[in-house]
A = this chain, B = another copy of it.
């Protein structure tokens, strides 16, 4: 098969790490450049011993340099912090490369909203217009035609997929939605920080950033487009002592006389042609391990008859579906490959 050469800018974080795992087994992409300022000069297997004996373990990490990336890659994944991605994405686009940006820099369509939540001006508003929001279940066609994809956040991926059918069909009121979300600790990144130490996270649990998490406007933006009117919701994240996973328990006020069975049927139909979204049978509830390391979004529905509330649970693996796997899915579409190419992981339990 004709292999597509891809680059990875920023390999030391968990999303970079996960990209090396996924790309090592990709049948149609070859990782040709991996960059990190701090680790340049080392073979990848030295920082990631799990790659010893595998092809990509021998790749020598380089300094990030747009010209070098342009010379060796057709498409580049940006796995660097928000703010930093913006300039690099522009530089790479200027050189004609396709870019999948895993940061938040191109997700919010309105630069004013970006400024309000990220406290800084968006410096690449030209490219912002070009960027496509990379949620394949909503935008597969646009992604396929795009050269700059804004890879969705982990919480938004689970939340939007979980809520979209309910809002599209008007099963719930558009106001009063509450998302109680729980994230595995890899979501906090791989930077050295006391708050992410094993002894600060294990055998405990806590909420964080209540009412002000930056994924809120991203969820609202996309759901407003789905619903056809402005959605304002309450999004509240918690930190789980697990490695991977987003567990979004979503509460909406019922706005229909449809039975739970009918709502379930509508969800099943909505995702019938989307293999990576699995609607669980009624009565089953999702477990994070069933999506671990995969592209699956598992969704369950329950109806609290006593309070007329529809409960939607939507879960993903934050690193694979919520970041690097979805980035590869987008790259697949941008490259004319099947969405699922290199992404057919079978969940591992336990």
A123 at the interface (CB under 8 A from B): no
Q: Report whether A199 and B190 are in contact in the complex, using a CB–CB cutoff of 8 Å.
A: yes
By a CB distance below 8 angstroms, the chain B residues around A93 are: none
Q: Is the CB of A349 within 8 A of B207?
A: no
Alpha-carbon separation in the docked complex, A289 to B17 (Å): 13
B236–A249 touching, CB < 8 Å: yes
Q: Which residues of B contact A54 (CB under 8 A)?
A: 346
- Which residues on B sit within 8 Å (CB–CB) of A336? none
A313 at the interface (CB under 8 A from B): yes
Contacts of A298 in B (CB 8 A): 49, 52
A266 at the A/B interface (Cβ < 8 Å)? no
A350 to B284, CA, bound (A): 27
Q: Cα distance A249–B205 when bound, in Å? A: 12
Contact with B along A1-31 (1 / 0, CB 8 A): 0000000000000100100010011000000
Partner of A192, one of B50, B193, B293: B193
Chosen A-B contacts, 9 in total, with CB atoms closer than 8 Å, are A178-B309, A182-B182, A186-B199, A186-B350, A190-B197, A192-B193, A203-B288, A204-B287, A211-B302
Going nearest first, the 5 A-B pairs with the smallest beta carbon separation are A199-B350, A204-B289, A50-B347, A180-B180, A192-B192
